[in-house]
Structure formats: C-alpha cells, structure tokens
Structure 1
C-alpha cells in the first residue's frame, strides 16, 4: 500500500496480543490500515502483529506508548496521523487487572489500575477526538469496558471500578462529540481465553482455595452459550462498531459475553 491509500485508518492500543491483536487483525481483514500500539517493553510482539496486519494487504505502523501518560498518547496519535495520513477509528483497548480483596489493595495498585484503564481511556478518547475534529468528517472511538462495568466480580474491585468509569466516560464523550459526527461506544467482554484471564484464574483459585483452572470453570458455568469466549468473538463486534453499519449508535457499552449478564 502507498502513502496515498484511501483506506480508513484505525489505531488499536494494547494490540501486541490477546483481544487487541484480534481486533487489529479483524480490522485489517475489513480493509482498514491499522496502527499497532503497545508499551515499549512489548515492542517485539507489537511489531509481529504489525507484520501480520501487512500480510492482509493493508498498511501498518507501530506506535509504542504508555496510554497512562498524556505526552505518550498525544505523540502516538500525532505519529499515526503522520505515518498513515489520518485517524478514523480509535480502539482504546489497553488494560490491566489485579486480583486482590479490597481490604488488601494498596493505593499504588489502585492508582496503577485507574491510570491505565480509566485515565488511559480518557487520554486516548480525547487525543483521538481532537485529531478527528481537526480532520473533519467524524470518526469512531471505541473503548474497552467489561462485563464488570455492569456487575463487578469479587476480588476485582479496582478493575471493576475502572470499567464502570469507562462506561460513564463513553456516555459523556458520545454526548459531547456527536456534533462532530464522532460516535463513541464500548465493548464489554466477559470471560475470554487470554493471558489476563489466565492470571485472574490463577489468583482467584488461590484466594478461593481451589485448584488452578477451577475458578474460570466455576465462572464459566454461568455462560448461556456454554463456552469461554475467544478474542475473535470480541473482535467481530468491534468490527461492527468500527464500520459504517453502526453510524446511528453512540454512547453504548454492549456486553459480548456469551450470555452471562443481561441488562
């Protein structure tokens, strides 16, 4: 692809692996040029995802940044707009979790989770919106919430609170930026087979005194469709949110959890 490509351009944060990688590859399959973000320590896997994106016949660039840092996020969006010509879709996917009872959560852990999951979403949303407003023509901003934005899980208090925050942020942003033809929505995964959920399972099992693997099995029994999600399940929904098909949808945080929680 050349620098004059007419493809729409997406930026996916935390795209080195897991749900973020699946989203990046799906958007590439949809014909979008895709910028890959991850933290500098994950440079190698970010570059690998970018190579897989290019193999689908579209352009890609790697934008290393810590989404909790304002200067990093501003620089990331500026670099993507320069490298790929514009920014049409922002997927604020990056996130972290910690499994600890609320009485044992220290302030540093609380702040770290909030800084990545909530402040990171805020910084990505606003930086993308500024770029899209400057370009004109609107855009799509998509955030990572979670099933716990509707029903928290025990031992995931800070994570749950951060995702409730993403849900509220998404609604506020949708209200303010509709006049710019920018839609803002979020996806709410349930139990997904990723490294994050393997860590959650390990720590939940320890807290509950059950064998590793049994915690995720226990929670999975509530899934109406009878199986744990894979990242591609989430990516398929994000594909819709990033497409013109969702142009009349904004301010929504939609559960894609196989039928655990019903709102």
Structure 2
C-alpha cells in the first residue's frame, strides 16, 4: 500500500506546490481548501492524478475541529491509512498592533494556531489508532511557521505571534508523540512569490509610501543572501525531505527555507 498525505490549504500557492511534490514522491494526496474553493482544489487533484497518484478533495476550515475530523476521515476513507499531515493552511493580515480589533486577533489565532493544533491532534489520534507508525517508518506531522516566527516584522505583529507559537507547540507535540513513533517538524519560508506576500508588499507599501513591489524588492535585495524571492517549489522541496524517511531522526525542529535572510 502506498503512502498518503493531507495538505491543508493546498488549492494554491505553497500548499499546491507541496501537494504536487508529495505526489512526485509517491504519495496519494488529500487536497484541502476552505469551502467555496472546490474548483481550485479539484484542479490540484487532477494534477496529482495526472502524475499517476490517487487524489481526493476535502473542503473544510482548519480552525473548526469538526471540519478537520471530517477532512481526516475523508482522506482515510478514500486513500487509506494516513501517514503524513501537512498543516499548511494559514492567513495573513497587515495591520498595526494598536489598530487590531478583537476579531482581527481572534481570527489570526484561530486559523494559524488552533488550526495547526486541530490538524496535529486529529492526525496523531488517527495514526495511533492505525498502529502503523514504526521507528523506521514514523508518522509525520509537519506545519507552517515563517521567518517572522524568528524575528517579528512591523505591521505583521499578530501574524508573527502565531508563527512563534507554532514553533513552540510543535516542540511540545514532538516530545509527547515520540513514544508513538510520530515526528513533528515545521518549515519556515522567507519571502515567497505568492499572493500572500503580494498582499504584504501592497499593504506595507501603502503605509510607508512605497510603490507596488518596492517593499518586497527591498527585503529581497537587502536582506536575502541569495538575492531572489523563494518560489513555492523551494518550500515544497524542504517539506519533501521532512515527509521522507531521510528525516526519521529529525523532530521538534523548525527548518528555515528563506534564501539566507539576514536580520539587522
């Protein structure tokens, strides 16, 4: 029987690239996105099937535990026992700390932190129930952190807070799930050429009087050693390693994939 993975938020951007890379690695993949995004999810599933792997879609909001439970059950029913959960889904918002509303803060926490917890806990319970996680073939829990989980950016304070929290929560999960032969790691992208970073560029630009692309170009040229933004595929390659048997002795870690960001 082949390997199976769920990738949340995989209708576009980094999530899509991860789903396609895991298919290349021999995974059958459950594609998740939020309700209303069935068309983009179906398109990714068709790409996976075009690579000779099985795929299914499971729409749902990761901030709701019942939705995540349904996503996991759909994956198991259609693809078989779960081997890997990639908690990729997340949201961003560019806003000053003093301007944040209670709803702004609550929504960011519920998707980016509670969403990861829901994915980790539900997937881990499923893996433990299956009883197929071994020392030489552990279950894999993988989540999205960020460079701002190492150093906060102005106007991304509450987003940064969630990415720091993901790192800490991942470490706790790694310690608690080791006895069940489940590893837990997170990936921390830098400046990625995706709609999320275009939003960050636009909103910070408005507040700082910079034109379209200027903020992103500044970060890339002044802070990134390799001098270019990441592509989603750069991140997917790291996730491929974390999902592979080559990373079986890696757990509790947050791996940067940022082109060498230098903070001053």
Does the TM-score normalized on the shorter chain lie above 0.5?
Answer: yes
* 2:137 corresponds to 1:142: no
Taking the aligned partners of 1:152 and 1:41, their CA distance within structure 2 comes to 32
Structure 2 equivalent of residue 214 of structure 1: 214
SS in 2 for 1:250: coil
Distance 1:261 1:255, change over 3 A: farther
Matches within 5 A, 1:54-133: 54-133=49-128
Tell me which residue corresponds to 1:223. Answer: 224
C-alpha RMSD over aligned residues: 0.8
SS of corresponding position for 1:34: strand
Gaps of 5+ in 1: 1-5
- In structure 2, the partner of 1:156 is 156
Match of 1:3 in 2: none
Deviation at 1:261, TM superposition (A): 4.5
CA contact under 8 A between 1:137 and 1:181: conserved in structure 2? Answer: no
Q: Which ranges of 4 or more aligned residues in structure 1 deviate by more than 2 Å?
A: none
Distance 1:228 1:136 in 2: 41
> Matched residues in 2 for 1:208 and 1:132: separation?
48
Provide the rounded CA distance (Å) in 1 between the counterparts of 2:23 and 2:262. 30
The alpha carbon displacement at 1:137 in A equals 2.5
Q: How many residues align?
A: 257
| 1:129–1:182 CA contact under 8 A, matched in 2 | yes
Of 6, 31, 40 in structure 2, the residue corresponding to residue 45 of structure 1 is 40
Shift of residue 220, structure 1, vs aligned partner: 1.0
1:184 counterpart SS class: strand
Q: Could you tell me how far apart the structure 1 residues matched to 2:250 and 2:17 are?
A: 23
Task: Measure the CA separation in 1 of the matches of 2:27 and 2:65.
Answer: 26
Q: Secondary structure at the match of 1:236?
A: helix
- What CA distance in whole angstroms lies between the structure 1 residues aligned with 2:53 and 2:262? 37
TM-score, normalization by structure 2? 0.96
Once the two structures are superposed, residues 158-192 of structure 1 have per-residue CA deviations (whole angstroms, 9 ceiling, x without a partner) of 10000111001100000000000000000000000
Give per-residue Cα distances to partners, 1:181-237, cap 9 Å, x unaligned.
000000000000001001110001001111111010111121001110000000000
